Structure 1
Amino acid sequence: MTIRSLLTGLMLMTVLPAAVAAPPAARAEYKIVTASKTGTYIQIGRDLAKYVAEPAGIDLEVLESKGSAENVHRMRFEAGVKLALVQSDVYQAFLDEAKAGSADAGNIIRPLRLILPLYDEEIYFVARADSPLNYIHEIKDKKLSVGPLGSGTALSSRTLYQLMFGQPIPTANAQYLSNEEALARLTVDKSIDVAIIVAGQPAKLFTDMKPEARNYIKILKLDDKAPETARVTKTYFPATIRSTSYANWLTDDIPTLTIKAYLVTYDYGLQSTVGNLSRFAESLCTNFDKLQANGHPKWKQVRLELPALSQGWRYYPPMEKRLRACIAGQMAVSRTGAFAKPQSQQAPQPQRPCTEQELVLGICSR
């Protein structure tokens, strides 16, 4: 063998491994739908992207939305959306509509699955500072901002009103406004009497307010002795908006109501998606302490557990299995199970007039 051929062989031995080395695996690119930029959901989504998705090898894009009802639709139909944050009353409303015979609601909600219960979201009933209203049960027949169409706030507002007063909000009294628009209408042109806002405390919308805010707005209180309260607390739960959450402008704690938030996905069967979401579940468990230490304060109220669910509610099996194994300290678990294939991505058009409830849920249009 000549010196030239020997050198050539050595060079090939050096170069060849780099030439044939397998390229690094592409990171999964997923999306999560949250809520408005001033709400709590979007901050929770950013925490999940940073402390859970990133270590799991997933690039998670955090998307704004109108809220829970829109999130259910986008989770079901929008490409790339693999995760959503949804209020429990919105999820239940879709199930109720499906049970009542709505094909649209059934097509949307039945393939969705829960990952983890999160925290309670406070409901703020905001009135002008000079309003004669002081209590939540005094909003009957008042002009209300109930949140945008397609939002969880709109559904919660309508459900609360129906429970309290035994009748729907009069159409002429309901305006479907964003939180920012609602506060402007409340304080500037005074075209509404109360803005109903759902957000986990501390919510950026309110933490950004200055002390002068108390000259313009106040939060109505829950009266636990009112009969309307007794009717509504069968579905919603008493809670407290703490003055420490909004030290700039609140001087006292405010009793109010809450609703539970959930992390939701779809009943995926594609093996690559199952694997990615399983890794996400394990990362959620193993990095949970980082969420509580560094994420939004609401993470401190989240418990890493999977309680029994109401009828019609189901966990996503691959993520449930991984979470239960991790929670129990069994970190090595095989991926098993056959999962349903996604259903048709075309929701049928309704052939009858829409109810107000269907309009709010976004499953019918006039």
Structure 2
Amino acid sequence: MKNKKFLLTTILMLALSMFLAACGGGNEEGGTDTDEKEKTDDAPKFMSILTGGTGGTYFPLGGAFANIVSDATGIDTNAETTGASAENMQSLKDGKGEIAFTQTDIASYATEGKLMFEGNAVENIQAIGTLYPETIQIVTTEKSGITSVEDLKGKKVSIGAPGSGTAANAEQILEIHGITLEDIQKQDLSFDESVNGIKDGNIDAAFVTAGTPTGAVEELSATETVVIVPVEAAKAEELIAKYPYYTKDEVPSGTYKLASAVPTVAVQAMLVVSSDLSEQVVYDITKSIFENLDQVTHAKAEQISADKALNGVGIDVHPGAQKYFDEQGITAE
């Protein structure tokens, strides 16, 4: 009888031990197999990186980033052509993408509900980080005779795709020079359409906000003598005083066969994500991009660095991206 009671007691204690072990965790740090499974399960199976037109800088960079993220995370990621910054913010709000390129000024407008986002604030975006200067290039050709911003009055000028960041930049730069959109024959064209319009003689000049060199403008320089209209220092300072997200910049000599550097202004390109993405997923995205820039062949990759990614962000950083920067000891300057 005693042996039977002892055996029964032993079985009960063994069963209790197994139960407690199952509940108590599978590793020394208190994590569990269930926790690890949940981290995996909250990752999407597919992600879209919203870029811009094929003639700009966002699209080729987006393609390279998509390949890097796919390889590093196992999440099928691709780059989509779009109308760029403002459209990308709206698309993230509508759940039509997970990652997007945008200008820092446009991201601020979106989260604050200003300008083109008035009454339509975007509340579900957070930053990964800034990437490189987005140079405002006022593009024309030697035969147009245009050499100053003031010369744009009365001319056919493309200010970029409707609702784009370029359109906002164009209006603000014209404003600083005492010009309104009514003073020009405004055209709302993408970069590729703008360049083709200049080639065909249908427009006189175009605003292009993109990293230099910009593919569409390089194509133009193959057949025409390209002129970049300067934004002189005094006007640049006036612009920055009113709109602090601008910085002074220049288009370097040799770009588009230019004989000398041309002064202008810039905003910054940045990557943003849907705030619905988990901390782990965004950490993996951030880490994969900034630690594999050697796989990006576009010239702009040389200007992208994790060390500078928190400078000028202007909106909240996603906790996953912040975790990566904290690990690297990176802070905003």
Normalized against structure 1, the TM-score is what? 0.69
1:137-286 correspondence to structure 2 within 5 Å: 137-165=150-178, 168-170=180-182, 173-190=185-202, 192-209=203-220, 211-214=222-225, 217-224=226-233, 227-234=234-241, 235=243, 236-246=246-256, 249-268=257-276, 273-285=278-290
Of 305, 310, 323, which residue of structure 2 is paired with 1:307?
310
Check if 1:82 corresponds to 2:98: yes
**How far apart, in 2, do the equivalents of 1:282 and 1:294 lie?**
15
**How far apart, in 1, do the equivalents of 2:270 and 2:221 lie?**
31
Aligned residue in 1 for 2:23: none
> Shift in Å at residue 122 of structure 1?
1.4
Change (3 A) 1:87 1:100: closer
**How far apart, in 2, do the equivalents of 1:196 and 1:205 lie?**
12
Residues 27 and 57 in structure 1, CA contact (< 8 A), matched pair in contact too: no
1:127 is paired with a residue whose SS is strand
> Shift in Å at residue 292 of structure 1?
4.2
Tell me which amino acid in the other structure corresponds to 1:243: S
**How far apart, in 2, do the equivalents of 1:123 and 1:175 lie?**
17
**How far apart, in 2, do the equivalents of 1:213 and 1:123 lie?**
20
Aligned residue in 2 for 1:55: 72
Check if 1:126 corresponds to 2:139: yes
Aligned residue in 1 for 2:47: 30
> Shift in Å at residue 67 of structure 1?
1.1
Change (3 A) 1:220 1:309: closer
Residues 51 and 82 in structure 2, CA contact (< 8 A), matched pair in contact too: yes
User: Alpha carbon RMSD of aligned pairs, Å?
Assistant: 3.0
**How far apart, in 1, do the equivalents of 2:149 and 2:114 lie?**
31
Aligned residue in 2 for 1:3: none
Aligned residue in 2 for 1:348: none
Tell me which amino acid in the other structure corresponds to 1:196: F
> Shift in Å at residue 274 of structure 1?
3.8
> Shift in Å at residue 244 of structure 1?
3.5
- The alignment covers a number of residue pairs equal to 287
Q: Give the greater-gyration-radius structure (CA).
A: 2
Normalized against structure 2, the TM-score is what? 0.75
**How far apart, in 2, do the equivalents of 1:122 and 1:102 lie?**
25
Change (3 A) 1:171 1:303: same
Change (3 A) 1:141 1:94: farther
Aligned residue in 2 for 1:363: none
**How far apart, in 1, do the equivalents of 2:248 and 2:322 lie?**
29
Residues 137 and 229 in structure 1, CA contact (< 8 A), matched pair in contact too: no
**How far apart, in 1, do the equivalents of 2:160 and 2:144 lie?**
20
Aligned residue in 2 for 1:12: none
Q: Structure 2, unaligned stretches of length 5 or more?
A: 1-39
**How far apart, in 2, do the equivalents of 1:101 and 1:281 lie?**
27
> Shift in Å at residue 231 of structure 1?
1.6
**How far apart, in 2, do the equivalents of 1:141 and 1:229 lie?**
23
> Shift in Å at residue 27 of structure 1?
7.6
> Shift in Å at residue 49 of structure 1?
1.5
Change (3 A) 1:268 1:253: same
Q: Bigger shift: 228-237 or 43-52? A: 228-237
Change (3 A) 1:93 1:276: closer
